[in-house]
Structure 1
Amino acid sequence: MSYYRRKQYKGQDDFDYHDRRREMYDSPEEKLRATIIRLGEVDPVQEVPRLVEQIREFTPVNVSAVAESIRIAVTEQPFKIPYYAALLRLLHDAPVPGSEDAAGPSFGKQILEDFWKGFQAYLDRLAWRETRLCIHLFAHLTVAKVISAQTMYELLRSFTAVLDEFGVSHGRAKKAALCAAEGLMIAGPAVKENTGLNVFDLINPIQAYIESTSDVKGLVQPTIKLFANSEPIETADEILDAALAALQTLNSSDFAHTADCFLQPYLDFTPFTDAPFDLPSVLVPPEVIELDTFSTDSGEDAPAKKEEWPEYHVRLFDSDVTPDPTTPVGYALRTGLLDLIDIFEVNRKECARLLLEFPKWTPRGTFKPRPGAPAEEPVAGKDWQLESTIIETVLGMLMVLPEPPHKPIYYIALITEICKLSPGTVGPAVGKSIRKLYGFLADGLDVELSQRFSDWFSIHMSNFNFQWVWREWVPDITLSPQHPKRVFMRRAVDYEIRLSYYDRIFKTLPEPMQAPDSLVLPPEAPGPGYEYEDPVNPHHDSAQSVLELLRGRAKAEDVMAHLESVKNSLETTEGDANIDSLVRSIAVQSLLHIGSRSFSHFLNAIERYLPLLRNLASGSISTTGTSNLEGRMGILNAVSAYWKHNRHMIVIVFDKLMQYQIVDPTDVVSWAFTRGGESRLSSGHPSIGSLEWEIVQGALNKANGRVVIARRKVTTLRKEDDEKAALAKVSNGAAMEVDTEAKPDITHEESPALSSAMKAFAILTREQKAALSRTLDGFVDCLASATNPNPNAKSIVSENAWHNRANWNEDEWVTWETWGWYRHFCRMYSPYLRNYSATLGTISFAKVGNASDPAVELFRRIWNVATGQEA
């Protein structure tokens, strides 16, 4: 293989061999770096001794270059860590190349000392993943006797000490606990040999911390439980719980089975008899306090930090198909796959290839041989299916609550790439996963996860010609229309239509699902619904006159004048009742009709007639003083009426109206809780479905995003002002040296730009708080209102009711979904709710019912957990 780069210089003559090229060769040192990083591409067992000789023979020696190469490889290719430990073990057997002092420090020791400096740098900047993977290397070297067990034990103790910090965040505690737990899993045999080291001093702090988080776990479990139940969840595993269970299992056997979980190629070498390397002592740095802040109820600034929660991963298959993550070998395999997926997020194609090659880096017999590969003797308790394990791990990351580590589209695209590499083996695993998740829908799969499942299903089908065995689900169309399975079918088909077109998706469905009464397909293809297009409509002529002006690109002032004349004529024929809302509906729907041809047409129309929209939102077309709120809500109603056959466009148009400040986020939230969900319950109570939640989420994200931008602007301007003040102070000090009797009398005033930015920030912060408050009020009205209690909210929160869910009616399923979106609101926006909890809780909870009501009790419990009032 050649390792040189070519720089191409295009010739001006296309016939002169097309290009002129100059070859740029790697230096010998660069080649050595590449060889170290690419260790194991063919056979790592044979390559390690050859690489050792190559490093020893390289002159002039460069310890830092070798250490850096190993550091890069360890943190970016963690599946090779055991072989890099073997490499360092062999490098400890010889002095530095070219050194005359044979008794001096070995080459391996010098590399390890330099490697430690890089580890310390990772730790100082709290690069947790890199830190944890370096600990893996140290743990392997401890088993190889290259590092002393005592200092390795003390290193792990420094991470368990983080768990005892006052007010430690869950994210920091989780990462520190995983560093300690996984390090002990690997180094356990060496640590256990030393009778002076007590492994329970490492295990007990982890267990104590996990027990302290029991209350918050219920809010992020993949399966919703609206009742208090101490039974462990069977469809998912929390990552810290799994690590503790695996660690306790290994410890109970004195770590005798560590070799079954982790490769240990260094044990095949001659035992290491030299003095081991002592790791320096460390302290884990404190958390970095973010400078970006926002105002709280107390008037002080608080860090706008994303909340981290317990991390549950969905289990899809039995333990004889995929490894159980709560067992030592299962935890080791899943962690290896999780790290690989996380690291290679920048290159999903390479990630897919490495995932299918993963058995190369595991003990023999771990997975069933792939078709065409040499048969291996199965190992008792192993012999798992690789493809099912990979898909389960990827989907487990996709289904993490409240949001996955990376964008959901990455995991969806990764599964597609894996399927393309090996469709014959991965396809069945994907099909089984879809069926398993579909089964979870009836068992309480979280509403947010149901939404992600719909996204993945529809996108995956679009990449494979929309081929799915829909007939398997035909019996389920007899369920209640609001049953989660029925909701999933409608949503998945709706998403598929967005990715294709109506007629094509219609043909993929079996005949029973094509029937209108099945409610699987929308009643007609997505498209605009212009109410005034039919000549039979009594307002057709008025709407056409407005439409012609808009098509002719008339000035906004002329359109407003014409609307006033339309209004006067309608008052003459129909009276004063609702004339304002009628004229507003005609204007907004006509404007949307002009922009319905494409998204660019829509944006052009909106931008051209912004003055018209602001006029309609202000209510100024009325002579009776229509309120601003009524005007803005009227615009939102007109948008929803026009796009009633394409609900996704409602979300898009609402977002643009907020962007151009025609409506406020609070208006959109109010609309979602009133007009958006007004007809979903026969009892008349408001409720929230997936569309309404998508609208609410868009409004909250818009309000939060504006605050973030304004905060950054204030921070930048304040920094500039401080720098100017410092320069002025320095200049004044220089003047005082000339005139010693002069007295400093400089008062620093805020610049006009900073003052303006601070005012804007305060306004946007109030808007953010109002949107959050209105959302909480909306959920109170849906689930825990004192004046209009929802009987379904109370009836479905008991364990007996849940076990009887097969008999639930539509109202009960709708209310169950609303409970799910309330839970997601609390955990998703927990950082903001925590800082505003005093005001929001006082105002909104004054409207809730009796605390003895089970629905009110549950409502408060969810709120208290999310805002940190119960831990």
Structure 2
Amino acid sequence: MSRRRHSDQNDGGQPHKRRRTSEPLVIEDRLESLIFRVGEKSTSSLESNLEGLAGVLEADLPNYKSKILRLLCTVARLLPEKMTVYTTLVGLLNARNYNFGGEFVEAMIRHLKETIKANAYNDAVYLVRFLSDLVNCHVIAAPSMVSLFESFVNVTQEDDVPQVRCDWYVFTVLSSLPWVGKELYEKKDVEVDSFLSQIESYLKQRQKIHVSMLQVWSAEKPHPQEEYLDCLWAQIQKLKKDRWQEKHIVRPYLAFDSILCEALQHNLPPFTPPPHTEDSVYPVPRVIFRMFDYTDAPEGPVMPGSHSVERFIIEDHLHCILNSHWRERKSCAAQLLSFLGKNKIPLNYHIVEVVFGELFQLPVPPHMDVMYTTLLIELCKLQPGSLPQVLAQASEMMYTRLDTMNTTCIDRFINWFSHHLSNFQFRWNWEDWADCLTHDLDKPKPKFVREVLEKCMRLSYHQRILDIVPAAFSVLYPANPSCVFKYGDESSSSLPGYAIAINLTNVIKNKAVNEDIFNILKDVPNPNQDDDDDEGISFNPLKIEVFVQSLLNLASKSFSHSFSAIAKFHEVFKTLSESDEGKLHILSVMYDVWKNHPQMITVLVDKMIRTQIVDCAAVANWIFSPALSHDFTRLYIWETLHSTIRKMNKHVQKIQRELEETKQRLAKQHKRRDDDDDSGREDGPLEEQIERLQEKVESAQSEQKNLFLVIFQRFIMILTEHLVRCETGGINVITPWYKNCVERLQQIFLQHHQIIQQYMVTLENLLFTAELDHHILTVFQQFCALQA
């Protein structure tokens, strides 16, 4: 590459000109490929690859310095699992070209500030860790790194800032110390001790009421689910006690020590952490997921203890691989299984624990749930001998601990397990779980098995479940997903509305239109009033009953038949649902027809919201209505509610986006007018559009706020009734129903926390007041603590 020549002569030949403009692009692409792929499988050793690449980059610095700087800053952020490879490369470049080393350090500090200002805190952690590892490569002077850490720790002394801000700066320092602690302590032990004691003081006084809301299991045994900073602090304390020696970080720079120690070092430019602003959004606290210890992997290498820094390093590396490769499950699985140092640890146990740790992470997993499912399937294919066994062991452990497992995590366990079984012919030793048949059906174990079988049926068919699950489990079998038509046989002929339902059925079969339906329905007597409104606008439960029952029964063959029927008679639905009672009754009748088919209920509710037959608040009220009390703790009910909330949130975001885009168009129009000095042109249409959209945004936000108020109000009512009933009857408050209900309330807060944050003041003033029972108020206080 160094022999490349760039001629300044212009001979006027077009081919030469074209070659000259495209050659730099080819070189840039090659540089990118070389940098991104260094350290991957190669016939040469990593050391010779690094040496070769350093030579190539040095030769290209005169012409491509800014590109090389940008690429190295990018890999520092995007490929943290290869961090020590890249710090070694930067060290070698610095040894060859001191000025470049200085420019790289300055670029990284600029990059760090921008990343923090952009709220990209996970990326910023890796940038700081990269800078700290450059101390080991003799690029950055140790005292200068200590000064950066001190500026981070000093954030804990700031006034009126949220705890999560201080948490992030403390975490960033502590999580860099496994890489650089030894080097810093040898050179600046007094200063390191000083900022560590400052961190200790901070950790002792920080509040942690959020912890129980984020724990996967509430029980302390066998593996306590520790708060992430407490766990990391214990690991760093142990590392310090071990004289900062660790065994799992691959350090390629040690091979180049004789070259690197000759290099001149740089001081970091002074760094002031960007101040806290209203737009700052810090990572929420986490809990460290623990499922295994050394006793669970009796054969092979020993699993490091939960407070050893090796456990942190291994898990952090696996999280980095997941984060870098999650879009491509095959390469992600292969990368996880080719973990460096895998022979020193029980790798499969670590992988399974880390994958489930992410899947169960609260408030939400880092990636979509299905990614973890497909990744585990891929891992089983690559390691068919051992990984499925570890996964079975993990499933068994989680099943035995269902009593203390968080309800949201149980949902994710159900979805993962059923999906996983569907990829392996539903093979499972169900007899091992026969103990669930001796429990009350509302207890966690039988509920879990029932929900798993329900989900498995969605992924296959009813008879298949009956064939693969022993008959002893029949009490937990999913119902045959058939439609229940109230007026289906002559024994129901005495029911009010029977004759009209039969008439409606015949008319619909004969290609009726909306007008025909209205003509039949106008004769339906209204049980609620003496003389019914001919137009059918007032709420008449019997009208709704006969129409919805008849139509859904006729369209019961498939989802698409039901959708077509709703579309064809949309006008009738809209008329019957003009009142709030009408909306609620349509949902209740639909539930009566399809109570044996939860998936149909979920999709029909979705369709009715989309077609504006019912609104989101009506769905929330229906879910908390007595009609649904029998299914209140079923998983599909909560999937329906969360889907409803997401639809409302998307609706608000869509209108807000339209408003922003229109404002930008108007601003561009103003700029053009100013540039053309054309003061006579009107912007009327755009300004009117903005006004209309602003009204729509306000109306949608009001609807969104109302939806959350309805949901929280209904939770408070239903929980208060339970608490009063228990108090007056002298019964223990903590029942399976109560645990489920409180954790569903937590789930609403957690899954939609970014939206709910906007309405905190209203919620505090109207609903979660000091007079509220502490059982319910605690949930709100835990939620507030997440961003406190």
Q: TM class, shorter-chain normalised?
A: 0.7 to 0.9
Question: Deviation digits for residues 763-804 of structure 1, max 9, x if unmatched?
Answer: 22222222212212212222224995444998545xxx7xxx
Question: Deviation digits for residues 406-426 of structure 1, max 9, x if unmatched?
Answer: 111111111111111112111
- TM value normalised by structure 1: 0.77
Q: Tell me if 1:632 matches 2:613.
A: no
Distance 1:130 1:601, change over 3 A: same
1:536 partner SS: helix
The 2-side partners of 1:731 and 1:26 are apart by: 38
Distance 1:85 1:76, change over 3 A: same
Of 683, 699, 708 in structure 2, the residue corresponding to residue 772 of structure 1 is 708
The 2-side partners of 1:233 and 1:719 are apart by: 57
The 1-side partners of 2:356 and 2:411 are apart by: 13
The 1-side partners of 2:710 and 2:69 are apart by: 56
What's 2:33 paired with?
A: 34
Matched ranges for 1:785-796 at <5 A: 785=721, 789-791=725-727, 795-796=731-732
1:858 partner SS: helix
2:226 partner SS: strand
Distance 1:772 1:484, change over 3 A: same
The 1-side partners of 2:701 and 2:539 are apart by: 36
2:651 partner SS: helix
Question: Quick check: 389-398 or 277-286, which moved more?
Answer: 277-286
Of 80, 83, 100 in structure 1, the residue corresponding to residue 82 of structure 2 is 80
Matched ranges for 1:540-559 at <5 A: 541-559=499-517
Of 289, 294, 300 in structure 2, the residue corresponding to residue 314 of structure 1 is 289
The 2-side partners of 1:115 and 1:40 are apart by: 22
What's 1:237 paired with?
A: 226
Query: How many residues matched?
Result: 745
Of 251, 262, 267 in structure 1, the residue corresponding to residue 240 of structure 2 is 251
Of 136, 139, 162 in structure 2, the residue corresponding to residue 146 of structure 1 is 139
What's 1:697 paired with?
A: 642
Q: Tell me if 1:345 matches 2:321.
A: no
Of 633, 641, 656 in structure 2, the residue corresponding to residue 711 of structure 1 is 656
The 2-side partners of 1:232 and 1:511 are apart by: 34
Question: Deviation digits for residues 353-401 of structure 1, max 9, x if unmatched?
Answer: 000001x2x3xxxx4x4xxxxxxxxxxxxx4311111011000000011
User: Where do 5+ consecutive residues of structure 2 fail to align?
Assistant: 1-22, 298-302
Matched ranges for 1:730-749 at <5 A: none
Contact (CA 8 Å) 1:666, 1:770: kept in 2 or not? yes
The 2-side partners of 1:44 and 1:87 are apart by: 19
Of 395, 399, 402 in structure 2, the residue corresponding to residue 438 of structure 1 is 399
Distance 1:28 1:734, change over 3 A: closer
The 1-side partners of 2:569 and 2:560 are apart by: 14
The amino acid of 1:456's aligned partner reads W
Of 119, 124, 130 in structure 2, the residue corresponding to residue 131 of structure 1 is 124
The 1-side partners of 2:723 and 2:55 are apart by: 82
Q: Tell me if 1:336 matches 2:311.
A: no
Distance 1:821 1:422, change over 3 A: same
Superposition deviation, residue 217 in structure 1: 1.5
Q: Tell me if 1:658 matches 2:609.
A: yes
The amino acid of 1:836's aligned partner reads Y
Superposition deviation, residue 759 in structure 1: 2.4
Superposition deviation, residue 478 in structure 1: 0.6
Of 742, 747, 760 in structure 2, the residue corresponding to residue 819 of structure 1 is 742
The amino acid of 1:520's aligned partner reads L
The amino acid of 2:588's aligned partner reads N
Distance 1:581 1:328, change over 3 A: same
Contact (CA 8 Å) 1:348, 1:417: kept in 2 or not? yes
What's 1:840 paired with?
A: 763
The amino acid of 2:491's aligned partner reads V
Contact (CA 8 Å) 2:588, 2:627: kept in 1 or not? no
The 1-side partners of 2:408 and 2:560 are apart by: 31
What's 2:592 paired with?
A: 641
The amino acid of 2:134's aligned partner reads L
Distance 1:643 1:249, change over 3 A: same
The 1-side partners of 2:641 and 2:729 are apart by: 21
The amino acid of 1:497's aligned partner reads M
The 1-side partners of 2:396 and 2:166 are apart by: 36
Matched ranges for 1:366-445 at <5 A: 367=342, 369=343, 383-442=344-403, 444-445=404-405
Contact (CA 8 Å) 1:170, 1:310: kept in 2 or not? no
The amino acid of 1:389's aligned partner reads H
Distance 1:568 1:173, change over 3 A: closer
Superposition deviation, residue 728 in structure 1: 7.0
Distance 1:754 1:42, change over 3 A: closer
What's 2:487 paired with?
A: 532
What's 1:604 paired with?
A: 564
The 1-side partners of 2:325 and 2:411 are apart by: 25
The 1-side partners of 2:233 and 2:216 are apart by: 20
Question: Quick check: 85-94 or 601-610, which moved more?
Answer: 85-94
The 1-side partners of 2:683 and 2:492 are apart by: 70
Of 744, 767, 779 in structure 2, the residue corresponding to residue 862 of structure 1 is 779
Of 713, 718, 722 in structure 2, the residue corresponding to residue 782 of structure 1 is 718
Superposition deviation, residue 568 in structure 1: 8.9
1:586 partner SS: helix
The amino acid of 2:739's aligned partner reads W
Superposition deviation, residue 350 in structure 1: 0.8
What's 1:15 paired with?
A: none
Superposition deviation, residue 488 in structure 1: 0.2
- The runs of at least 4 aligned residues of structure 1 exceeding 6 Å deviation read 568-572, 725-735, 746-750
What's 1:273 paired with?
A: 262
The 2-side partners of 1:705 and 1:420 are apart by: 38
The 2-side partners of 1:653 and 1:584 are apart by: 16
User: Where do 5+ consecutive residues of structure 1 fail to align?
Assistant: 1-23, 96-104, 226-230, 291-304, 370-382, 619-627, 681-686, 736-745, 802-811
Q: Tell me if 1:181 matches 2:139.
A: no
Q: Tell me if 1:761 matches 2:697.
A: yes
Superposition deviation, residue 201 in structure 1: 4.3
Question: Deviation digits for residues 512-533 of structure 1, max 9, x if unmatched?
Answer: 113xxxx2102x3213222223
Of 444, 448, 463 in structure 1, the residue corresponding to residue 408 of structure 2 is 448
Contact (CA 8 Å) 2:318, 2:336: kept in 1 or not? yes
The 2-side partners of 1:579 and 1:60 are apart by: 79
Question: Quick check: 487-496 or 311-320, which moved more?
Answer: 311-320
Question: Deviation digits for residues 69-100 of structure 1, max 9, x if unmatched?
Answer: 444444333222222233333344435xxxxx
Matched ranges for 1:671-690 at <5 A: 671-679=622-630, 688-690=633-635
Superposition deviation, residue 714 in structure 1: 3.2
- TM value normalised by structure 2: 0.85
1:816 partner SS: helix
Superposition deviation, residue 36 in structure 1: 3.2
Structure with greater proportional helix content: 2
The amino acid of 2:779's aligned partner reads I
The 2-side partners of 1:26 and 1:280 are apart by: 33
The 2-side partners of 1:602 and 1:533 are apart by: 18
Superposition deviation, residue 608 in structure 1: 2.1
For the aligned residues, what is the CA RMSD? 3.7
Contact (CA 8 Å) 2:505, 2:551: kept in 1 or not? yes
The amino acid of 2:687's aligned partner reads S
Superposition deviation, residue 150 in structure 1: 1.3
Of 512, 531, 535 in structure 1, the residue corresponding to residue 472 of structure 2 is 512
1:312 partner SS: coil
What's 2:183 paired with?
A: 190
The 2-side partners of 1:117 and 1:832 are apart by: 32
Of 254, 260, 285 in structure 1, the residue corresponding to residue 274 of structure 2 is 285
Of 511, 521, 540 in structure 1, the residue corresponding to residue 477 of structure 2 is 521
Distance 1:44 1:113, change over 3 A: farther
Distance 1:633 1:78, change over 3 A: same
Superposition deviation, residue 330 in structure 1: 0.5
The 2-side partners of 1:548 and 1:700 are apart by: 38
